[in-house]
Structure 1
Amino acid sequence: MPMSDLFRFSNPIASGPRQGPTEASYAPNPHRIGQNFLKTLVDPSNANIDIVAVHGLNPLNKQSHAEDTWTSEGHLWLSEFLPKRVPQARICLFGYNSNVAFGSSAAGVREQGENILNHLEQIRADNPYRPLMFICHSLGGLIIKRALVHAKADATYNKIWRSTFGLVFFATPQQGGNHTGFGDVLASIARCVSRSPANTFMAALKGNSTFLSTITDDFRQMLEDFQILSFYETRPLGSLGIVVDRKSALLGLPGTRERQIPIDADHRGICKFASSEDPRYRLVEDNIAQMVMNVTSPASHQRGNDEEELSDDAGNTSHITGEDNAINQAGHTNESITNGNGNRTDQFGHRNKCQVDGMSNTTTQVSLEATGVLLLGLKLILDRWAASGKDIT
């Protein structure tokens, strides 16, 4: 599917019955404030996609912050509104101790990234290749970027990286802002959530700014793997002004690789919606729903059964999940990832890559750079057939 089609708006995902919160998976223990947890908000029986929301800085270490981040006037849109538009999504919240993540050494971010990977590996054990989307507010985006960099390099969590298709950032600092460095942006975020953050916390946060900035640098090496939505704030937050400005909130990717969308809200309110009729929420929901459609539609990614995709171009990428699928790629520098049983992949070109997980899969790779060898092999086969006196038809 061409990248230009990734965000084409058409045929919104069918609505379904409202899904109420289910009993939490890895639910937080009220006696251990600030521990890590992955809480399931919505878990439909026909789930075919996972959505995980990750909060930002929480210097007061409030247990409810994981939900409060996405709640306005008692309405948690992730469980009340979004399931009506994407009824096939399992929706979860990740909670973590941001004081450990951002207020100590750089190892804190790595640790929290590994924590979410561990939780996801457990909850997705029965379906490790289910498509995965992350929705992040503020510094929560840095946790996820670090986690994905780790997942790509670590065989234990590689399936999580391969399954991730979408990233939604709400006011996540990707770089320094206008006339401000990355460390200054981080300090503004800390002041936003706590009017008088401890000096030690501020010092640690600014001291880690170089490391946090390199997370984005490492992450840029894998940006082509994902669809990205970047929402940025346009209202000042009192005397603090715009906390994460447009320049800081955007990765700055060309074309359709990053959809850049302003939200009429400040840093705190950018991901809070009290009504499903709020125009700001409609904008967010439409974009998320389109992203989900892109990955669940057979026309864009093979995730069903008995489907066939034909590609004839350079740099084709295909991800297949299911059984008895078929894909043909012609061109060069193609990549195919197949998960399931009984699938067939044919690649014609050169510099092709194919990864197959499952049983009874078939892969055929024909390199244009090896044409002479292939012709020689074909000639030998024909010669043997002729010598046998058998009818080759």
Structure 2
Amino acid sequence: MSKLPHISGPHVIPQTGLTVVVDPKEPFLDIIFVHGFTGHPQETWTQKKASPESSGSNQFAKYQSDTCEQAANASQKSECVFWPRDLLQHAVPNSRVFTYGYDSHIKHRLTGHLNKSTVYDIAGDFLVSLEANRLQDPSRHLLFIAHSLGGIVVKETLRRSNQAPQIGFRKVCESTVGIVFFGTPHSGADPRNILHSVTEKFFKAVGIQVNEQIVNTLLPSSERLRELRDEFIPMALEREWTIHSFQEQYGLRLLGGNKVVEDTSSYLNAPTIEVAEHIGRDHREMCRFSGLEDIEYKKVEAAIQRIVSKVPRSHEKEKPTERPTTNNAFEIRKEQRRRFLWNSLRFDQINDWRADIQRTHAKTCEWFLRSYCYLDWIDSSKVNEHTGLLWIKGKPGAGKSTLMKFALSQAEKVMGEEVVLSFFFHARGIDLQKSTVGLYRSLLWQILARLPSLIYCFDSAGLVKDDIKYDTKDDIRRDIEHFDWNKPQWNLEMLKDLFEKAVLQWSVMRVRTNPVPLVCFIDALDECEESQIRDMVAFFEHLCERAVTSNIRFRVCFSSRHYPNIKMNRGLDLVLEGQPGHSQDITNYVNSKLEIGHSGLVEQIRQELHYKASGVFMWVVLVVEMLNKEYDAGRIHSLRKRLRTIPGDLHELFRDILTRDELHRNELRLSIQWVLFSRRPLSPHELYYAILSGLGANVIEDLAAEEIEITVGDMKRFILDCSKGLVEVVSSECQTVQFIHESVRDFLLRGKGLAELWAEQESDFQGYSHDLLKRCCVTYLATVDPSVLRLPLEIPESVVTSRKRRS
């Protein structure tokens, strides 16, 4: 065994491998620090005293550049605190402290050298290194401390250790007493999408241009990540590890104030063994501390001491490790079931609305926080008047969802200890995005995420069995291994009952120490069926009234069009287009975005545009773009005339956009038909080739024959042009295409826009469209190599025959 490097003074730690930072004579515990991607075994855990915010976008350059001498000199001058060495011994004396470094990949990719190791390869190397360097005392207890995606490395290392046939490797898992996670993403129905998003965000935060190849190489498959997610909690429960999950309290400025890892993902949701707590830092700074008096470090010190308190010192006689008894095996089984039920509430598109809705323009929507309705809504002394209900209403395209997104973001930033839940109905999404079943699943998942101990509400609903008996240890093992993975059929009444219990129990549990208000934002009620919305409004009226009588601080904010007209018994109403602040927002937008000069005529045009908008923000956005194009083409003389010919009604404007010329009519029709009638939202790649297939097989064949490389940017521009700007690409976890606003769909279907645009198919445009889409699919299948399609069914014989004829 090669001797490990020891860092006892202000020296720079090697970038890879295990390094001993503190090595007492008689250690009773090994503490291992593991950094995340783009991190470093020293810099990740080092705070610069002189400049607490100096780890900005240039921090990654320090990680990957050869500045060892500078770092050493800085440390010698006591300008840095490397807390694994400088602080930890005060909290846990006689502990041996390591840092582990691994290839973060990026440096090699930027210089052209490709290292194809994944998380799983890193974990395998880590386990081998740990085993080799603990040979003298393989049973010494272990505590892991991991930042960000380094937590995934630790989890996989422990899983491998648990399943290892060699006793030396198993000892790593058997000796572990706990884990401290800093901003590690754990949750998600599709965990690879979660990790992909986190990785891209962090690359951006450290000033690196995101490269899809880099991200895909770093992350393993979704299947393997699901295995890790589903196996880790039962393993941790069985071995009774103590886990502390620290969550970032603040977002990063480079990410528009958003967090790298959201709270709903940065803890395991294992309330019997885990504590979740916020660190008053952003994702990069959350594991750097200025000294023993740093208030955030004191949180970490307390967490580590709580874990270590159950570890016997070297002079104490340690009791033999007990394997699971009947009782704790039964609890493990029930805990598995509760966690599985919680995860089954979530669906992949649960947060897609955040990407669907445009960010507010600078200095818009701020008036809302000063409006009388909002101030009355948050005033607890007036809750008996309105029961905590506020309903924002406005015309289609007025900007209601943008205002709600602004209000939600402000609530998440400035409401302090208030807990915020949200759901935005989405008529262009899957069924769960436009139904109240999806609403209650999302809200229940969020509230259980914020207070994991509420997960026991599943027991009261009879979803966790309490009548299982074990006769032998083999029965215990078989029951844990053959866990009930059957997803419950969530029905509306069950979900309403669970959510009501969770809200009331939340308040009971929180009021014991300090009242913590619960706030819900629910947007676009008009994008759900009216009967469901009427039932939902009645339910929330009932729940708010119960909250008032029980002295519970619970508030709900709705947003919708004026239709459906549902009357609340008590509550506040705010009509958007009647608000002076909203009118000023339109003025601010026009002044900022309408780039047609500054003459007297231009000022008149601005005023006419504002008047004609009638408070509809979507109309303003479209018309400003049209006028800017006229100006860019040198037609300043016709700007006023063009504005006067533009219809003031939003539906009439859509009709004008779609009929103003005859260019590419087939492409326009195909783009609209695919977005309207496909069974699910399509990706840009899918829509691009769907439209080309509708233009004829020769188009795709020519494209393949000429070996033209089509980028995602090319596809987006093509889709935008085909749809005349009415279809957009939404950058959620999985990019999809949709209409720029629900009012476009309303115009085409309810406003009879389809019948006017394509009168020849008026009698059955939907049936005609489905037939055309089917023919597009057949054309595509007959043109491309079926081996690359990964189809679950055999290709129809007619398609195979068609391919043979073509070849």
What range is the shorter-chain TM-score in? Answer: 0.5 to 0.7
Post-superposition CA distance 1:83-103 (Å, at most 9, x none): 012112100000001228xx9
In the alignment, what sits opposite 1:16? none
Structure 2 counterparts to residues 240-259 of structure 1, below 5 A: 240=255, 241-254=258-271, 256-259=272-275
In the alignment, what sits opposite 1:170? 182
Structure 2 counterparts to residues 1-393 of structure 1, below 5 A: 21-22=7-8, 28=14, 36-58=16-38, 65-73=40-48, 74-99=80-105, 108-156=118-166, 157-176=169-188, 181-182=193-194, 183-205=196-218, 208=221, 211-224=224-237, 225=239, 226-240=241-255, 241-254=258-271, 256-296=272-312, 304-305=316-317, 314-315=326-327, 351-352=472-473
Aligned AA for 1:295? V
1:181 CA displacement? 4.4
- The secondary structure found in structure 1 opposite 2:310 is helix
Post-superposition CA distance 1:3-60 (Å, at most 9, x none): xxxxxxxxxxxxxxxxx94389xx73xxxxx5x310000011120100000000118x
Return closer, same or farther for 1:213/1:139 CA change in 2, 3 Å cut-off: farther
Aligned AA for 1:71? T
Aligned AA for 1:294? K
More strand by share: 1
Return closer, same or farther for 1:286/1:198 CA change in 2, 3 Å cut-off: same
Return closer, same or farther for 1:147/1:106 CA change in 2, 3 Å cut-off: farther
1:199 CA displacement? 3.8
- The secondary structure found in structure 1 opposite 2:247 is strand
Partner Cα separation in structure 1 for residue 161 and residue 94 of structure 2: 25
- The secondary structure found in structure 2 opposite 1:168 is strand
Partner Cα separation in structure 2 for residue 184 and residue 199 of structure 1: 11
Deviates more, 1:80-89 or 1:207-216: 207-216
Partner Cα separation in structure 2 for residue 231 and residue 86 of structure 1: 19
Aligned AA for 2:244? L
Partner Cα separation in structure 2 for residue 158 and residue 227 of structure 1: 19
| Alignment gaps of 5+ in structure 2 | 1-5, 49-79, 333-469, 475-807
Post-superposition CA distance 1:103-128 (Å, at most 9, x none): 98996222211111111112111100
Contact 2:182 2:247 in 1 (8 A): yes
- The secondary structure found in structure 2 opposite 1:150 is helix
Partner Cα separation in structure 1 for residue 102 and residue 139 of structure 2: 24
* Higher RCO (C-alpha under 8 Å, 6+ residues apart): 1
Post-superposition CA distance 1:264-292 (Å, at most 9, x none): 11000010001110110001001101211
Aligned AA for 1:198? N
Aligned AA for 2:27? A
Post-superposition CA distance 1:229-280 (Å, at most 9, x none): 10000101104111101111011112x3111111111000010001110110
Partner Cα separation in structure 2 for residue 204 and residue 191 of structure 1: 17
Post-superposition CA distance 1:298-325 (Å, at most 9, x none): 9xxxx83386999xx85369xxxxxxxx
Return closer, same or farther for 1:306/1:54 CA change in 2, 3 Å cut-off: closer
Contact 2:122 2:153 in 1 (8 A): yes
1:296 CA displacement? 2.4
Residue identity (%): 30
Give the aligned length: 287
Aligned AA for 2:248? E
- The secondary structure found in structure 1 opposite 2:309 is helix
Larger radius of gyration: 2
Partner Cα separation in structure 2 for residue 84 and residue 194 of structure 1: 35
Could you tell me the TM-score, scaled by structure 1's length?
0.64
Aligned AA for 1:39? T
Runs of 4+ in 1 over 6 A off after TM superposition: 103-106, 306-310
Return closer, same or farther for 1:92/1:206 CA change in 2, 3 Å cut-off: closer
Contact 2:244 2:275 in 1 (8 A): yes
- The secondary structure found in structure 1 opposite 2:231 is helix
1:207 CA displacement? 7.3
- The secondary structure found in structure 2 opposite 1:66 is coil
- The secondary structure found in structure 1 opposite 2:38 is coil
Partner Cα separation in structure 2 for residue 216 and residue 169 of structure 1: 15
Aligned AA for 1:193? V
Deviates more, 1:203-212 or 1:258-267: 203-212
Contact 1:57 1:193 in 2 (8 A): no
The RMSD of aligned alpha carbons is 3.8
Return closer, same or farther for 1:314/1:208 CA change in 2, 3 Å cut-off: closer
